[in-house]
Amino acid sequence: MPKHALSVTREDDFAQWYQQVISEADLAEESGVRGCMIIRPWGYGIWERIQRLLDDRIKATGHDNCYFPLFIPLSYFEKEAEHVDGFAKEMAVVTHHRLVMQDGKMVPDPEAKLEEPLVVRPTSETVIGAAFSRWIKSWRDLPVLINQWANVVRWEMRTRMFLRTSEFLWQEGHTAHATEEGAREETMHMLEVYRSFAEDCLAMPVVAGEKSENERFPGADATWSIEAMMQDGKALQAGTSHFLGTTFSEAQNIRFQNDEGQFQLAYTTSWGMSTRMVGGMIMVHGDDDGLRVPPRVAPHQIVIVPMLRDQHEDERVLSYCHELRAQLSQLNAINEPVRVLLDTKPVKAATKRWSWVKKGAPIIVEVGARDVAGGNVSVLRRTSLYKDDGKLASEIMERHDFVDRAATMLEEIQQALYDEARSRLDGSIRRGVETFGELEKFFDEGGKYPGWVEVQWSRPTGAALANVVERLKALKLTIRNVPMDAPAADGNCIFTGDKAVERILVARAY
């Protein structure tokens, strides 16, 4: 058994392991500001890669980026009761616009109290809806397809880095359409963009489906999600796409003249994905040696670590490394130029190697004087770190051979991470659970990391749904979604005993 780079394993304590990966991989840290984190260079570099790849897809589907205000007047929220109810409990409110010295202390200046308090945006439907109502006059103006990259604030009582922070970074798409059909198509189209982005770029297999009524976005007619499975068997909602119907266009008066000259309400959608995805990536791909970053989102895909000893040899080693970097930078892998770092920091080579292992760089190449003499490099793939005997699986390769193979190796690593996560997801959804008792038993006896259960239900509403939610809550379970690709129901609801109408996923979740 190899000795691993982290002191806590996933099996020991998943939550503590998660925190350790974040700190050892230099992803983020506590800021000293309640509920807010600092995203460090490696973590932010991954987020920048996510932004770039997702933004390309958002633009390719016809959306334009804009920027809307951070502050939203309280009155904007009052127009949509369900929406404000959903967010009122977690809103940061600006009440003053100046500080003043009082008794030797700086305090908000009582003379500079705002007439109307401003909310720090928790999401931007209201302020973007107000803009839409100005922009949209005629059917010719539709559809309006907008996206925004921004920070938002939801005052969380219990926070966890990347997964639940008071401030987080995200993109929020907002669109308006002439017809219900158009808006529903958009909702599903963006859900598909999220699904394919998660799977193709983050190597994170997901289940796409509609959320149950109780889990809808406040004000939405329907909410769809992609759900990913973490290594502790919990679910993470990784992206959502909302069909908002005419709720917000009624509240914000988004009306247009149709081609027959009549005024009617537009149909709107919104959809978002956030820095939460970095947390998901850790919990899907991390191992007991730290993070493993899928090559497509790795800020550096190949890190070259020169092993330096004395002045004379060092120059030759460094110049060999520079040449290697130049050769690798010419390559393309997965449709982009390969990103290579030559790490020349004044730190011991072994320390550097382990630092890049913990950060999860896909390929680490070590070069010492002996490699230079032999025209070789020593290659370590982050996805196969150890040999059977527990020793490091570094492979001596001829340099030109490595350069020839590097792009393919990156593609293989991307695929290997996906395959591993896919087989875990597919193998950890229990089907055929036909009674609530069986469900209880599964989570009682399913071990530490039990996975998900797919059950059939009759889609109860109102008090009956509230009752289901309560019963699940007692088991710390939630309804994740109604998987789009599940077979039709053919049995009875495990909650009500009525004839089932669809299948739902039930799981513990972040």
Interface with a copy of itself by CB under 8 A: which residues?
Answer: 29, 31-33, 36-41, 44-45, 47-48, 64-74, 77-78, 84, 88-100, 105-108, 117-120, 127, 130-131, 134, 140, 146, 150-151, 153, 155, 166-167, 169, 346
> Is the link from the previous residue into 143 a cis peptide, with omega within 30 of 0?
yes
* Dist. CA 364–CA 393, nearest whole Å: 11
Nearest CB to a copy of itself, comparing residues 111 and 310 = 111
Q: Which residue is associated with the tokens 């950890």? A: 428
HSE on the CB side for 440, CA within 13 Å? 8
Q: In the complex, what is the shortest distance from the CB of residue 8 to a copy of itself, in angstroms, rounded to a whole number?
A: 22
In contact, 215 and 207? CB cutoff 8 Å: no
In our burial notation (b when 16+ CB lie closer than 10 A, e otherwise), range 283-306 reads: bbbbbbbbbbbbbbbbbbbbbbbb
CB of 499 to a copy of itself, least distance (A): 41
- Nearer of residues 234 and 276 to a copy of itself, judged by Cβ: 276
For residues 170 and 152, the answer to whether their CB atoms sit within 8 Å is yes
User: Given the complex with a copy of itself, which of 92 and 464 has the nearer CB atom?
Assistant: 92
Is residue 117 packed enough to be buried (19+ CB in 10 Å), middle (13-18) or exposed (0-12)? middle
Residue closer to a copy of itself (CB basis): 89 or 312: 89
- Residue placing its CB nearer to a copy of itself in the complex, 15 or 38: 38
Give which of 156, 224, 132 is closest to 186, Cα–Cα: 224
Host H or E run for residue 56: helix 41-60
Q: Quick check: bond before 450 cis, omega within 30?
A: no
Closest contact distance (angstroms) between CB of 93 and a copy of itself is 4
Residue 497 gets the label, from left (phi > 0), alpha (psi -120 to 50) or beta, of left
Strands 113-120, 429-430: parallel, antiparallel or unpaired by DSSP? unpaired
Q: Which two tokens stand for residue 174?
A: 């907002």
Q: Which is nearer to a copy of itself, 64 or 404 (CB)?
A: 64
Q: How far is the CB of 39 from a copy of itself (least distance, A)?
A: 4
Residue 383 zone, left/alpha/beta (φ > 0; ψ -120 to 50; rest)? alpha
Cβ 33 to a copy of itself shortest distance, Å: 4
Q: Are strands 340-342 and 302-306 parallel, antiparallel or unpaired?
A: parallel
- For residue 268, the minimal CB distance to a copy of itself (Å) is 17
In the complex, the smallest distance separating the C-beta of residue 168 from a copy of itself, rounded to whole angstroms, is 10
d(CA 174, CA 58): 11
Q: 15 or 347, CB closer to a copy of itself? A: 347
Q: How far is the CB of 448 from a copy of itself (least distance, A)?
A: 34
- d(CA 447, CA 455) in angstroms, rounded, equals 19
User: Nearer to a copy of itself by C-beta: 145 or 377?
Assistant: 145
As measured in angstroms, the least distance from the Cβ of 304 to a copy of itself is 17
Task: State the Cα–Cα distance between residues 456 and 495, nearest whole angstrom.
Answer: 9
> Could you tell me the smallest distance in angstroms from the CB atom of residue 19 to a copy of itself?
16
Nearer to a copy of itself, 72 or 236 (CB): 72
For the CB of residue 250, give the shortest distance to a copy of itself in the complex, in Å.
18
Instruction: Name the β-bridge partners of 464.
Output: none
* Residue among 252 and 376 whose Cβ is closer to a copy of itself: 252
Residue nearer to a copy of itself on the CB measure, 278 or 506: 278
Q: At what angle do helices 276-285 and 14-24 cross, to 10 degrees?
A: 110
**Whole-angstrom distance, CA of residue 138 vs CA of residue 318:** 64
